[in-house]
Structure 1
């Protein structure tokens, strides 16, 4: 009926249809050791020849073949030229079909094993993660037994390549346990199929594991249910006043049918934004939602909410010039509201709710590692639909009970204006010092207190609703004044504004976990190499709402602090995009904050311990126990 509705429906259909096509057109990919069977033999000159038997329909990247020694010594590797291929994932590349060979001219004296890293893809299908296989040099005459010691190769070019592994990128030497088991090391990459290592869903294996369990339909349905579970988190709460405010601006049109239409368009636009988020991640190599958390973007959105609030208070009306509206009258009648609703839904998904959850991270990592854009985008689209399902119910039934236009509507309009002011402050607080944000909250609450008659002075009859409003005004004035006192005391938590003035608050401030800030892979490597402690690596940002919850409810928990007493605590601040932190996120397959990695003293990430998104203190302690093996 509406043009925008047809467009959004077409996008949803295209994404889902692309998923089904991708799911049915490709055969099940082979385990990587069958797709690229690696053998090694000794050469007459004391070197090692590496040979890959590549299955039909698969190809190996020449530039992703690398070799390192446990001691970190430089290794020279001769690789023949490959075939030129315009790869859909990496652009122009040299690849091998059928077979590939690489030769080490010589092996450093005393070296008993080498680590061979490589990466390949299925034609018109998935791309495998970069993997490493350890070869015992004493057994060069036969097929090498993979040690599953993970590392990321350093890329090079030309006929002769030199690899200089660092302690961070090639910490492959500490694999332990019986054959078929191993630890995952930094950066976080999963082993090849069949190793018996449990893949942590929060580390990016969620989509792949769902595909193995029940195919594309099962994966998409599960993501819808996951989105439904996330619908009642702080990531989605801001969407309710936004949708309510948009419905409130539609004068005289607050029927159930109208509410259903607007809320459905809002949610479709939000889900479409999630789907396009996956496409953008595949094309640009980064999380677009995180990239939009820049200071200019936050300022613009805050300004939009402020303008909407002022219009609700009657300072001005938001409408096009009369000449424009006359020219398009009858053609776009009723559609401008739909378009603005769709725009709000799309913007809300990308900027207003910047929460990185395990399902979102899993889908984005899956897209980046396999190039399967259609399935990843469809999973994210389903995630958005799940998050928006309660919003549709809220918009449909909430719109039906909204007061009709009249005296009541003036109070409702002012309430929506206050809601937009709350959203404006909530957005701008991400880039302000905590005390400045407290001042804004204090000013808003004090203003609301006066508006509700918290100090009395209103004439006319006072019924039950007026008395309730006045009581709320008194409470608002008290809380706003308390926030103002906290701002003067340099408090940083609006839920505990007087903490700096109390003994318990001062004790909690002094007992806060002390994180060392790092910004680049080398800094992390140096910190890990500087001692024999395990490490907690924490990715955070000023605009990350879930990070604030973690730092307040988890990191200040005395039990958590006691368990982390023996850890080296490292923090990576990704508030603003910097080359070092961007490289670190890429190395560790981190989509965005909050993300936490447990790393042992040898530089190996503990399998199954990675945390993405919010987590309660009890679950965090359990994750520490898992990391410690008890």
Structure 2
């Protein structure tokens, strides 16, 4: 398949990945509790301020926040603000905080030496995993960098993403995004300019010399973006706290819509004309053909092309800021800039004829980014909107993408893939409309309001209360050649109850579970023995399901909620041929 055709297919493949229904939840994708629910206690005049910060994608239960001054009577307890309404089909109406809150505790008497505030909170990840109650005694001045929940949570490694084996995937994703941005219409006219800059004053260059100069140019571009990524990582925790405010999030969502309109050429986002002229004048004074000046021009080009890549760059910086990892930020933006500069390397080495011609496919790349921007805007604003409205917005986006895909027409493999994607997006959009009309609880489950399926009675589990009991049960199953399902459960875990009431009652699931030894570790009390079991499997909390084959080998780990279809696939993968 030719390079132009591959590039034309890229936005379609990007949309397919971004619109996939659900992803397997990996333990490495979850934040440790001390980062998901950070805390800070400070004194401000005659009051103490307790900052409870909630990472994006997580939430705290309002009714499970408990504060106990030690000693009692030194401060007055605050009245908790109202939370966001969250209706669960099993636990009823709950109030939760998706974003951080600050509580003021008036000082009613001089604070004694050694004063502390005992805090107990409990929350969950939107992805479907709930954390046990977290207890910590905070002193004035304790901050988010002191890991305030660490001593009460299961002990886990808190190494950043770079140390968890996910660096390659992260860098590959950023490189691909940079490569896609390189083929937007606003970037393409720079290619002949770069070619002439590298060539210098008409000198004929060898391919090696051309590659060296173009590499210097790309390094200037890349290192500029690397500095931006490091800055985003270093300020990530501060940015996260600030960006969790509802007004800021809704403003950011509105900006995402503006960025999307820019991608669709409805509006134009660019630097002021005076600044553009100054940058162009500076670049014209740089002579080509020399490594130092070409490197400087590369750094300057990061400013020149900034408006063109601002929308996707904003998303990238938001992701890096959320990670709070400066090393990850620098590496990710460096990889993105390398993708952005790859066509420039080709031009500098082989000449402009190696690149695909400008054409309609550039608009397809921009449209793909525009759709991603709209999706980000809906995702950001979703917690503040009625569920039905959120589902209608997702529906409008999906149906709009389907309509655009069908408008393109054409023949061949690309046209066939576009039609297939259009059908998938149409189905997804119609499901969201059905869900909004039938009162579905979430865009993830648009059919929940009309379909309940045929269900069997609850599955019967054998409880294990410690690692010793678990080892004994596993040994018996291994001796009998019986596969094992170990379920981590808690009464306060919404996803655990949901799996018991839906997934475990599905006939296809039960057909497979009937051949297995069903064990359950109830961690409701979160006592030391239960924490030890969680720690053994690297879990922050339930639900977590460990699957063993007949030989006693752990073959699968399911983290978070899975519906019946997903769980059947997990069971089949754990015990093929059963």
* TM-score category, normalised to shorter length: 0.3 to 0.5
Q: Quick check: which one's helix share is greater?
A: 2
